[in-house]
Amino acid sequence: MELKDLRIFQSVAGAGSISRGAKALNFVQSHVTARIKAMEIELDTKLFLRHSRGTTLTAEGRKLEVYARQILSLMDDMEKDFSDNDSPSGSLNIGTVETIVKLPDILSMFQRHYGGVSLSLTSDVTANITAQILDRQLDGAFVADFEPNPKISRIEIFRETLTLVSSEPEISLDDLKRKPMLVFKKGCSYRENLERWLMDEGVMHAKVMEFGTLETIIGSIRSGLGISLVPKSTIQPLIQSGEVHVHDIPEEYSNISTDFIWNKEAYLTRTMDKFIQTVQAFKVQEERGRV
């Protein structure tokens, strides 16, 4: 079995279809089908179940997927190791939650020194991003209120204050029960803090509306649709203009960290090392600014 066969297998497994897997690799479908069949013959097992919607991994296929991910990750690390030089280049895949207002400053700081590096950003909630770090799908990520994990390294960059936001200057317990909570999907730290606070306030079955972007959430708050819990730093101009109103909640729910994380077991390329150094330098800069 060749490495390219594992990449074909991984592509089909991820796409859930031989045709989509072939398209992603820019291969003809017949070639991908032949290589999958050859792998099944060599391993003497069925790797995929074919159906009208595409393909699904069998139990043996899921087992091979774990090995394929580990083997290909090691090969990628080896290639990065031998391609590194004194001037970092190549690319970094960085994850981030939606609400880090200082992210452009960090990225600009890095690009000023290492303009030859291409940065690719993926936006999601903390739980999903953490899973992608563990699977080595991302080189590093900016997350909120990270729960310590023995397989993940972490730098706490700064702390934020979450605040309850509404279109009205006053808010009551009845408002909390009546108005929808505008949140990101499950796995978002802000949502988890909001749900914990509401439960402790006796609001057991709050209405929830899920949104994909902070911009949509803020726009919906301004229109009076509902209430949300967001970092105060993200809405300062709207607070000053009176377009939204903020309401403090206890510190145990409102004090939250912004962290940069990466997989401890992944090979640390020179490019990634320089990015981590940039994050650390930014942290020092932020701390000096608060003195």
What residues contact 165, with CB distance under 8 A and at least 6 apart? 218, 221, 227, 228, 229, 230, 235, 244, 245, 246, 247
87, 116 Cβ separation under 8 angstroms: yes
Same domain, 179 and 208: yes
pLDDT higher than 80, residue 88: no
Give this prediction's pTM: 0.69
Q: Work out how many domains the chain is built from and give that number.
A: 2
- Summarised one tens digit per residue, pLDDT across range 29-40 is 999 999 999 999
Same domain, 98 and 194: yes
Q: Give CA–CA dist 257/272, Å, rounded.
A: 22
Q: What is the pLDDT, as a whole number, of residue 194? A: 92
192, 198 Cβ separation under 8 angstroms: no
What CATH number has the domain bearing residue 93? 3.40.190.290
Q: Give CA–CA dist 241/244, Å, rounded.
A: 8
pLDDT higher than 70, residue 145: yes
pLDDT higher than 60, residue 200: yes
Same domain, 38 and 146: no
Q: Give CA–CA dist 122/129, Å, rounded.
A: 9
pLDDT higher than 70, residue 207: yes
Q: Which of 28, 48, 82 is the last residue of a domain?
A: 82
